[in-house]
Amino acid sequence: MTLDTSVPPSIVQAAALAAGQQQHPVASLYVVATPIGNIADLSLRAVHVLALVDAVACEDTRVSAGLLQRLGLGKPLIALHEHNEEAAAPRVIERLARGERVAYVSDAGTPAISDPGARLVAAVREAGFRVIPLPGPSSVVTALSAAGDIAGQGFRFAGFVSPKASARERDLRRLAEDAGTCVIFEAPHRIEALAAALAEVMPERRLTVCRELTKQFESIHTLAAQAFPAWLAASDDHRRGEFVLVLHARPAPEAEEAGGAAAASADQLLKVLLEELPLKQAVALAVRATGAPKGELYARALALKAGGEADADAVPPAPADWPERRAPVRRERGRR
């Protein structure tokens, strides 16, 4: 047997091997999803199309030039962002009319999902040219997949709520009326204001907080909305990075009632056990007796032991490997 000692193919060559036999029509706009933080999430099909197209329309030419450079590609770039999308669309259509392939990419994720792209797609279709979407990274779907929203049946995407206090509260009250799952985006400089508003408008709503998805310092936490401000205040790192929030669907009324009764029963059991046993043993026995998640019982036990019923939801959950000692928090450094 002869071993192949040739140089491994580049990522572009590998992409061509994987996708090169597929059809890639000319005079078409390719809407390409790009990584939301981890370059390795770029699909082989996306790499192949970026190598194949005649030009790339993009939200920010600096960001897209960096991506193409990492792939060893050089393409003409067309700036097409929220401030010039309607005016720049004819430049893309002119290229399509010449039989060229053009890709459109936003800075991160899937275009037209709280990003530019929708007006371009509509204009291209109206001009009679084909639009071909390439599925890929999306912070919306990524967050939903890690939320564990058991009651969820479908979801609503709200994007960014208003940055103004009165309008933000109005937006959130409308969202609170919807019993279904909802996904919200927020920037780091506004996250504390949003957390305070969520805690006031829907304090009992379950919330999964996704921060820096797919990046080195990614964190995902689920808690009651009323505990969100305290969680943010617990560490400077908690307030850094881009946020995707998943508002969990409200359980059916009978499930909410059952959950409230179970919580009250667990609290009563914990109170009795804590009078006689150390916290660790009390929680361990309560877990065995109730079958409730140890993280929730740990938080309740700490609050009850401190005599702070109102603080129970503000206590961070027990680590996954509890009752072992919690590992020290790693500080984030540099640009986020």
Sheet holding 206-211, edge to edge: 155-160, 181-186, 243-247, 206-211, 219-224
Residue 28 amino acid letter:
S
pLDDT at 3: 40
pLDDT over 50 (residue 115): yes
Give the number of other CB atoms < 10 A from CB of residue 20: 12
pLDDT over 70 (residue 81): yes
Q: What is the mean pLDDT of the chain?
A: 86
Q: What CATH number labels 140-247?
A: 3.30.950.10
pLDDT at 306: 66
pLDDT at 2: 43
pLDDT tens track for 91-104: 999 999 999 999 99
pLDDT tens track for 270-282: 888 888 888 888 8
Q: Where are the domains of the chain?
A: 11-137, 140-247, 253-314
CA distance linking residue 182 with residue 154, whole number of Å:
9
pLDDT at 335: 35
The highest-level CATH class for domain 11-137 is alpha beta
Structure tokens at 236: 């400077």
pLDDT at 204: 92
